[in-house]
């Protein structure tokens, strides 16, 4: 037998032995690591996105996580980690017999765990890493882009440090803790009190408190973990502020271990062509002149590339790349005197969705970068130009895709629990420090044009003082003191929440100092079979358009499109009365909420993207200027105080030569009212009477049934106030009619 044949038989024999060995172990019920995903798989029986179904330990979120400050040399630590859950302070915390897929939270299906973590428990993570030889002698930054909520870190058994906060990025220099061996142990212990503690938790709650507007908690690592080497003196952070009107851009550099005599070279590029370059002292504010600056906007989201090189005596110490958009946000009055929002000195109407930032398979963590990009592209395809991020901080790459594709962002601060008292959170100062971290972390994204401090009345305190602090902290963006409910006369924006079919905004004079927006509205429920978080969810259709019921349930796509178009018509007409923007609730279904533009798994758009886009066009169209048939009164009637159980009506008479084809009814009222034409009820109007108890204005195109009640000659229109509506003596009521072209 020749030598080649002997070798061949020997190889075959060894392969057969290994197959037999593995087969026996499987038959005996043992699991062994053969190098394929180490026994990880998503928890079954969970609603999944298309992207979540494609996640593996090898491909999980591999993109560079910090597009605003990129270094070429880095290592991604996402993937499988050793894991266990134990009681707080337990001594067996290093018995980590399970695997978890980082960066997905413990409660998610994609983590492979999907279990509830109690405040009395701790999460134990472990991973072994090797440092490239070229990194030796440098600082090594270990980055955690978000861990919820209190983190302690050890390297090779040595305590490195801790961090408190579930939404902000943090890092440690681990170089001093590395031993001479090639393999090093990272150990993390994380605790999370969720909504029982005093930290910002947003909409996270433990299972016993889940409801229609509170969702599954996120515990542990939930954003990318990574590391990079840097020199002893390096660029720790940068702040880039465009001045569009001056065609300049200011860059501030934060250095770690600044060395005297160090200089920073900053270059700006337009598609690879250098358009500005400065060499300066890095401790000063540095200004770049951007001649013939290209503006950044939703219609044209142009981004300049940026390179920063730190040098000393001709030697390069550090280099990062970034980008920026030239844009400014401002406010000014229009010809009617209403305060309007301007982008790059042009008035802009904003239409978008409320985004909770939840995913069925990853909870707060998007399943992939493609999922993020596709979701932003969907926003563009339906004709939206804005998004409100609701009580969550997104991964940095989410904002990068908004910058790149052109979506304006209203960024909420993550609220404390409703039950947290100011005294429980360091007299408020700890929460303010958290807000400052978030502002600093996100400040370079041109897409973010507005900070929303409080949502409704959730743990709201010291509103005037904190709003003033926000305005001073960031002069380049608008500030909303509170979205909905408890408004104070401070900040730039007056934000209303209205979930009725005919929404209303405050009735104000043209000297009102703030811009008015509908920060939450719509919210039509439409469950789609086989695409709901709860497979057994059934919602009987409850539609009562005559009485203007809130949050209606629609089970028919055609009816949804029809009624959504009617609702958008009323919303669009509010621009005539000072409104600047509308936020539809919401982008996608979320757990037991089914009022999204699309389903929770992002597989079905309730109405086609093109239909949505066609409906939304009316919102951006020039303001309709119809012919007035019944004018609002120059001196509207005041209403005497209505006693409990009493009622009052307000009537106007008008004549017309013929019945118009399209007639807008303008209402100035408060509380719950009914509208009659020639004695016949045509609709009900329900303004909030508990939280937003103020006189409001709304406008609606009369339905065909109402037009049939009109006649040539004398007509009456009456506003009847339902018992229980609360009016004060100085409140006003009024009715107007405007004829529009069909």
pLDDT tens digits along 276-287: 999 999 999 999
In the predicted structure, residue 426 carries a pLDDT above the cut 70 = no
- The pLDDT tens digits of the residues spanning 230-239 come to 999 999 999 9
Give the pLDDT confidence score for residue 695 in this predicted structure. 87
Lowest mean pLDDT among 69-78, 206-215, 378-387, 679-688: 679-688
Residue 288 reports pLDDT greater than 60: yes
Taking a C-beta distance cutoff of 8 angstroms, is the pair 650, 737 a contact?
no
CA distance 230 to 549: 59
Residue-level pLDDT at 459: 86
**Is a pLDDT exceeding 60 seen at residue 696?**
yes
Q: What's the CATH number where 655 sits?
A: 2.60.120
Give the list of residues 6+ apart from residue 166 with CB closer than 8 angstroms, or none.
146, 147, 148, 149, 192, 199, 200, 201, 218, 414
Band of the pLDDT at 12, cuts 50, 70, 90?
very low
Average pLDDT for 393-402: 98
Q: Are residues 26 and 54 in the same domain?
A: no
Percent of the chain with pLDDT over 90: 74
For the segment 605-638, what is each residue's pLDDT rounded down to a tens digit?
999 999 999 999 999 999 988 899 999 887 766 6
Bridge partner list, 525 = 553
Q: Which range (205-214, 259-268, 359-368, 646-655) has the least confidence?
A: 646-655
What CATH number corresponds to the domain at position 62?
A: 2.60.120.260
pLDDT at 689: 59
Instruction: Please tell me which residue, 176 or 670, carries the higher pLDDT value.
Output: 176
Output the six-digit token pair for 333: 């009055």
Burial 633-663 (b: 16+ CB within 10 A, else e): eeebeebeebeeeeeeebebeeebeeebeeb
55 has a pLDDT exceeding 70: yes
Looking at the structure, tell me whether residues 130 and 265 fall in a common domain: no
- Omega of the bond leading into 489 within 30 degrees of 0 (cis): no
Mean pLDDT score across all residues of the chain:
89
Is the per-residue pLDDT at 2 higher than 60? no
* CA 163 remoteness from chain centre: 24
| pLDDT above 60: residue 316 | yes
> Which pLDDT score is estimated for 257?
93
What is the span of the domain harbouring residue 305?
A: 234-324
* Predicted pLDDT at 21: 38
**Which percentage of the chain shows pLDDT scores above 70?**
88
CATH of the domain at 268: 2.60.40.10
Which pLDDT score is estimated for 307? Answer: 98
Mean pLDDT of 328-348: 96
- Do 552 and 700 lie in one domain? The reply is no
Report the CATH number at residue 356.
Answer: 3.20.20.80
Strand partners, 686: 672
Residues 697 and 714 in one domain: yes
Q: Are residues 317 and 350 in the same domain?
A: no
pLDDT value at residue 239: 97
- Both 612 and 534 in one domain: the answer is yes
- What is the tens place of the pLDDT at every residue in 703-722? 888 999 999 999 999 988 77
Would you state the pLDDT for residue 206?
94
Do 159 and 268 belong together in one domain? no
Same-domain pairing of 534 and 608: yes
pLDDT > 60? residue 363: yes
Average pLDDT over residues 189-205: 91
Last residue of a domain, one of 293, 324, 355: 324
Please report the pLDDT score of residue 5 as a whole number: 43
685-715 burial, b at 16+ Cβ within 10 Å, e below that, comes to bbbbeeebbbbbbbbbbbeeebbebbeeeeb
Judgement on whether residues 528 and 660 belong to the same structural domain of the protein: no
Q: What is residue 421's predicted lDDT score, i.e. its pLDDT? A: 54
**Does one domain contain both 95 and 168?**
yes
350 and 436 inside one domain:
yes
User: Which has more pLDDT, 610 or 723?
Assistant: 610
* Residue that terminates a domain, selected from 620, 642, 659: 620
pLDDT reported for residue 551: 67
* Domain end among 261, 292, 324: 324
Check whether residue 388 and residue 522 sit in a common domain: yes
**Count of domains for the chain:** 5
Residue 211: the pLDDT is 87
């Amino acid at each position: 037998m020749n030598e080649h044949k002997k070798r061949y038989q020997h190889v075959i024999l060894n392969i057969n032995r290994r197959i037999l060995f593995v087969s026996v172990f499987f038959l005996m019920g043992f699991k062994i690591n053969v190098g394929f995903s180490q026994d990880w798989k998503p928890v079954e029986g969970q609603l999944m996105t298309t992207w979540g179904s494609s996640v593996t330990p090898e491909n999980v979120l591999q993109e560079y996580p910090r597009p605003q400050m990129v270094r070429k040399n880095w290592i991604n630590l996402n993937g499988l980690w050793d894991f266990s859950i134990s009681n707080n302070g337990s001594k067996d915390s290093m018995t980590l017999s399970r695997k978890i897929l980082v960066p997905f939270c413990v409660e998610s299906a994609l983590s492979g765990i999907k279990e509830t973590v109690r405040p009395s428990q701790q999460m134990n993570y472990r991973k072994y890493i090797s440092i490239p030889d070229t990194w030796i002698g440098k600082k090594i930054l270990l980055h955690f882009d978000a861990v919820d909520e209190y983190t302690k870190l050890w390297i090779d058994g040595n305590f490195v440090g801790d961090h408190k906060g579930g939404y902000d990025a943090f890092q440690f220099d681990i170089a001093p803790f590395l031993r001479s061996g090639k393999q090093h142990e990272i150990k993390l212990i994380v605790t999370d009190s969720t909504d029982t503690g005093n930290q910002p938790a947003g909409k996270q709650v433990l299972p016993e408190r889940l409801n229609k507007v509170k969702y599954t908690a996120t515990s542990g690592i939930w954003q990318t973990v990574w590391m990079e080497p840097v020199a002893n003196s390096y660029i720790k952070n940068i702040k880039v502020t465009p001045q569009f009107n001056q065609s300049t851009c200011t860059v501030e550099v934060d250095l770690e271990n600044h060395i005297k005599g160090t200089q920073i070279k900053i270059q700006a590029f337009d598609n690879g062509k250098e358009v500005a370059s400065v060499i300066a002292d890095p401790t000063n504010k540095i200004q770049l002149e951007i001649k013939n600056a290209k503006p950044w906007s939703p219609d044209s989201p142009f981004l300049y590339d940026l390179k920063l090189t730190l040098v000393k005596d001709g030697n390069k110490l550090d280099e990062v790349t970034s980008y920026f958009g030239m844009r400014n946000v401002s406010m000014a009055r229009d010809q009617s005197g209403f305060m309007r929002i301007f982008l790059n000195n042009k008035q802009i109407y904003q239409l978008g969705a409320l985004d909770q930032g939840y995913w069925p398979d990853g909870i707060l963590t998007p399943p992939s970068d493609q999922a993020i990009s596709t979701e932003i592209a969907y926003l563009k395809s339906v004709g939206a130009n804005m998004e409100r991020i609701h009580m969550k901080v997104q991964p940095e790459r989410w904002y990068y895709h908004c910058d790149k594709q052109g979506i304006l962002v209203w960024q909420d601060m993550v609220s404390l629990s409703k039950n947290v008292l100011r005294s429980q959170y360091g007299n408020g100062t700890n929460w303010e420090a958290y807000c400052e971290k978030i502002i600093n972390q996100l400040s370079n994204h041109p897409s973010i044009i507005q900070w929303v401090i409080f949502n409704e009345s959730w743990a709201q305190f010291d509103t005037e003082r904190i709003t003033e602090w926000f305005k001073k902290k960031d002069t380049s963006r608008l500030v909303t003191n509170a979205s909905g409910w408890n408004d104070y006369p401070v900040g730039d924006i007056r934000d209303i929440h209205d979930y009725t079919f005919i929404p209303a905004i405050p009735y104000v004079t043209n000297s009102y100092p703030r811009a008015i927006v509908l920060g939450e509205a719509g919210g039509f429920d439409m469950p789609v079979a086989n695409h709901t978080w709860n497979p057994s969810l059934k919602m009987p259709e409850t539609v009562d358009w005559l009485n203007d019921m809130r949050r209606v349930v629609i089970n028919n796509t055609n009816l949804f499109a029809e009624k959504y178009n009617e609702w958008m018509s009323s919303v669009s007409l509010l621009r005539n009365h000072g409104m600047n923007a509308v936020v539809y609730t919401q982008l996608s279904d979320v757990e037991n909420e089914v009022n999204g533009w699309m389903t929770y798994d992002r597989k079905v758009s309730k109405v086609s993207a093109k239909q949505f886009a066609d409906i939304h066009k009316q919102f951006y169209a020039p303001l309709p200027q119809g012919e007035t048939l019944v004018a609002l009164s120059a001196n509207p009637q005041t209403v005497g105080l209505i006693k409990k159980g009493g009622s009052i009506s307000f009537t106007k008479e008008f004549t017309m030569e013929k019945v118009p084809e399209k007639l807008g009814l303008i209402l100035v009222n408060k509380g719950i009212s009914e509208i009659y034409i020639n004695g016949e009820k045509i609709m009900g109007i329900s303004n909030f009477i508990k939280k937003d108890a103020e006189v409001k204005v709304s406008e609606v195109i009369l339905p065909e049934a109402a037009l049939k009640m009109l006649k040539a000659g004398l007509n009456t229109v009456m506003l009847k106030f339902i018992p229980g509506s609360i009016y004060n003596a100085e409140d006003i009521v009024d009715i107007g009619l405007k004829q529009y072209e069909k």
